[in-house]
Structure 1
Amino acid sequence: MQSLPRLLKRPKLLSYTWRVKFHTSCLSQQDVLMGTVDKWGGVTVDLGSADCGLEGTYTHTSLRELDAFAGMLRNSLKQWKMEGKKAVWLKVPILQSRFVPVAASQGFQFHHADKDYSMLTAWLPAGSCKIPHFASHQVGVAGCVLREDTKEVLVVQDRNRETSHMWKLPGGLSDPGEYFGETAVREVFEETGIQSEFQSILTIRQLHNYPGAFGKSDLYIVCRLRALGHVIDHCTEEIIGCKWMDVSELATSQSTSLISTHVARLVLYGFREGFDKVDIGMKELPAVFRNMTYKLYHRQIPDS
């Protein structure tokens, strides 16, 4: 039978053994984080990837694990500097957010965040940081839907604005991966029930420090759309009024915004002189990237 002193010593021995095993499992064999290198000399490390060098999920991180990660990050930064790397992009999944203070203590800063991760960056060379800023603008798109037979334009009164009594063009923010014309057609249908098709861009407004853009700038793009139907079925949650209004009335109305007045004047000029005089048209062209295209917007020119 073992003596009491020996039994009391055993948990300490087991605890020490567990601690050693933890440190060897927490650090990969190379003791550095693994990432992908881009053509600009930057390194991207995704802490949610099984290939980054960390072991385990780290959804409930202990102080020992944070200390181990801090050591790996220090070693990695030292190696990347020796290799002449410039920018480091550290993608931190939301369930691993405990790593953010550790990275911040070693010079990392927030670059942007999405629904389930934050992206941190560090600039390694001496001198000013050359990492580009994240998106500087939000994009809003309005649809100027015209009935060319009656020279009327579709207008709405927005329920969610302080100026809800004013008549305006239907529209909203562009979704990721959505072209301007697609946004205009979608927003018009969601707000008014009117189907339409894209014709051109009429005008673009740029505004800095836009109150609704979280301190960023705002692009507001007005598209000319052709109505495919005339029966209004507006969304009562967003819109308190919707109607077809004579373009001449919109151009002189006191119950509208200044930009709507200018758009109406553009439309009147288009009706009178031809929309080729005001339209910013669109062509779809192949991009330099494989299997991709882009849309190019410009005034109409004769085909060569």
Structure 2
Amino acid sequence: MAACAFALKLLPLAGGRFCGRASCPARSPARAFSCAAARSQLQKVTGTGALTGKRDRFGGVTVDLADVGLPVDISESSFSGLLQGSLARWKAEGKVAVWLRVPISLSRCAAAASTHGFSFHHAKHDHAVLALWLGDGESRLPGFATHQIGVAGAVVDESNGKVLVVQDRNKTQNAWKFPGGLSDPGEDIGATAVREVFEETGIQSEFRSLLSIRQQHNHPGAFGMSDMYIICRLGPLSYDINFCTRECLCCEWLELAELAKTDRTTPITSRVAGLLLRGLERGFGEIDLAMEELPAVYSGMSYQLYHRQLKC
């Protein structure tokens, strides 16, 4: 009977009131659920009358509301009661943080969570993630990603000292630059460079090394966030240009020596062109940051390390 009373405190009646009794008399015209129905709905939601989630190694718990079986029409007040009981349990268990993943179809649950101290951490196209610090002192939760990654590919034809360059169609200044674009989530730097070069110029290529990294903050093209711009050295696998006219005004194989000294380019492009000239003259081992794939501490995963190769 106590379980029934707890369940009914979480489930609102049709008239907006909550049933706090241990039983639900038939004479109540406003009642929406019997004790059995209330118990059944909670069991469908979590099996125990509380939210469940995945524990992480940092002492937090992540709850995905798309996976816990909430009724599609659950009200803010019902979810608030369910969350309140869950928070009490997590605090008793010593959890230091709660991450709440809210699908857009259950956005009203975000409003309910805010009354318990949750705040937005980040959002994507179909969900938002809220967070609540339960530990002592100020929150030690990490912030969301604040950078975008742009990657360009400098495709060098070592047989004639030329490099592939483009002029963007939508730029106010028609400057020569290396083809490139934004890296997709989960995409390696080298793969981004190869993909973007092909999409813009029609040239097939392969990754050789990392050449440079530019860091810029408060970037207008990154919604005021920070921007990382990486240039990779690529080797050509084809040579016939078939550039994208929607993105590019023109595309050419240009002499590296000319690109290094022309005023029709950007400062970063001319500097990297100078690096590539040094590589052609003395060997690319002097300028390359080669990639090595190593096993990560997380089981079954790996990472890419870019560094200057040591001479034996």
Write the distance in 2 (CA, Å) between the matches of 1:201 and 1:39: 34
AA aligned to 2:202 is G
Write the distance in 2 (CA, Å) between the matches of 1:55 and 1:45: 12
**1:212-227 pair list within 5 angstroms:** 212-227=221-236
Deviation, structure 1 residue 116: 1.5
1:46 is matched with 64
| Superimposed CA distance per residue, residues 167-204 of structure 1 (whole angstroms, 9 cap, x where no aligned partner) | 11100011112111111011000000001111111111
| Superimposed CA distance per residue, residues 198-241 of structure 1 (whole angstroms, 9 cap, x where no aligned partner) | 11111111111111222321111100011112110001111111
1:18 is matched with 32
Write the distance in 2 (CA, Å) between the matches of 1:288 and 1:79: 31
AA aligned to 1:124 is L
AA aligned to 1:245 is L
Write the distance in 2 (CA, Å) between the matches of 1:291 and 1:55: 33
2:156 is matched with 146
- One of 243, 253, 264 as aligned partner of 2:273: 264
Write the distance in 2 (CA, Å) between the matches of 1:109 and 1:223: 39
Write the distance in 2 (CA, Å) between the matches of 1:218 and 1:287: 26
- 1:70 and 2:88 correspond: no
SS of the residue 2:277 aligns to? helix
**1:67-216 pair list within 5 angstroms:** 67-163=77-173, 165-216=174-225
- One of 31, 34, 39 as aligned partner of 2:49: 31
**Residues 178 and 55 (structure 1), Cα distance of their counterparts in 2 relative to 1, 3 Å cut:** closer
Write the distance in 2 (CA, Å) between the matches of 1:153 and 1:269: 14
Write the distance in 2 (CA, Å) between the matches of 1:286 and 1:39: 20
TM-score, normalization: structure 1?
0.87
AA aligned to 1:43 is V
1:7 is matched with none
8 A contact 2:150–2:182 mirrored in 1: yes
AA aligned to 2:214 is R
Write the distance in 2 (CA, Å) between the matches of 1:258 and 1:296: 27
TM-score, normalization: structure 2?
0.85
Deviation, structure 1 residue 45: 0.8
8 A contact 2:210–2:290 mirrored in 1: yes
SS of the residue 2:269 aligns to? helix
1:292 is matched with 301
8 A contact 1:141–1:173 mirrored in 2: yes
8 A contact 1:26–1:68 mirrored in 2: no
8 A contact 2:119–2:132 mirrored in 1: yes
8 A contact 1:23–1:68 mirrored in 2: no
Write the distance in 2 (CA, Å) between the matches of 1:36 and 1:294: 25
Deviation, structure 1 residue 139: 0.8
8 A contact 1:27–1:68 mirrored in 2: no
Write the distance in 1 (CA, Å) between the matches of 2:195 and 2:282: 29
What's the RMSD between the two structures over aligned residues?
Answer: 1.9
Gaps of at least 5 residues in structure 2 are 1-25
Write the distance in 2 (CA, Å) between the matches of 1:100 and 1:293: 35
- Percent identical among aligned pairs is 50
| Superimposed CA distance per residue, residues 66-90 of structure 1 (whole angstroms, 9 cap, x where no aligned partner) | 1111111112112211221101000
Write the distance in 1 (CA, Å) between the matches of 2:29 and 2:225: 52
| Superimposed CA distance per residue, residues 74-112 of structure 1 (whole angstroms, 9 cap, x where no aligned partner) | 121122112211010001011111111111121111111
8 A contact 1:154–1:242 mirrored in 2: yes
8 A contact 2:169–2:246 mirrored in 1: yes
Write the distance in 1 (CA, Å) between the matches of 2:172 and 2:34: 63
User: How many residue pairs get matched?
Assistant: 283
Gaps of at least 5 residues in structure 1 are 1-11
1:9 is matched with none
Deviation, structure 1 residue 19: 4.2
Deviation, structure 1 residue 161: 2.6
- Structure 1's consecutive aligned runs of 4 or more residues displaced over 4 angstroms after TM superposition are 12-15, 19-26
8 A contact 2:76–2:111 mirrored in 1: no
